[in-house]
Amino acid sequence: MLKAVRIHRRTVVMLPFLGVSAALLTGCAHAKEPYVTTCPSPRVVFVIGSKRIAASHCSDEYITQATETVHVGQRIKVVARAGEALPSSDDQRVLREVSRSSDRRTAEYEALRPGSAGLDIHYGPPCPDSVGTDQTPSPRSPGTDLCVLLPVRVVPAN
């Protein structure tokens, strides 16, 4: 039996299964027809200013992101889904972790000086495919499982 509920001008339809919602069907207020998603929440989300970048797709696989450009002093917030590891900076002189939550699901990195750095994860080989291409990047060093998830270019502050 489906149950429809209105939340913030959106209709949420739930399929109860043993007292737990087994699937959500959501319809946007502007959409002509509701859409169905069974996608999990992203494994890792990068927040740069008002921009949010999901670093995984619906099949729950990581995706290597395109290079993001930030200015010296700007921060990148990283939020990981429960059970997922946070990425680490491959060059602390350029992009350094400045805070981490006690539950180890959120961290912030600050751009310290111009240069290139990456937020890396232990994954593979092979490394996750790049967004928008079918290319699979190589690990940072041969024989390791360290793969860049978000390449970052730091430029001088305005």
Place of tokens 């008002």: 50
* Predicted TM-score (pTM) of this structure: 0.71
pLDDT(14) > 90: no
Task: Find out whether 33 and 27 touch, Cβ atoms under 8 Å.
Answer: yes
pLDDT digits (tens, 9 = 90+) for 20-31: 333 333 433 444
| Domain residue spans of the chain | 3-37, 44-155
Distance between CA atoms of residues 92 and 150, nearest Å: 15
pLDDT score recorded for residue 38: 78
156: preceding bond cis by omega (within 30 degrees)? no
Chain-centroid distance of CA 14 in Å reads 26
Among 9-13, 65-69, 141-145, name the one with the lowest average pLDDT. Answer: 9-13
pLDDT digits (tens, 9 = 90+) for 121-153: 988 667 777 776 666 666 666 667 888 899 999
Average model confidence (pLDDT) across the chain: 79
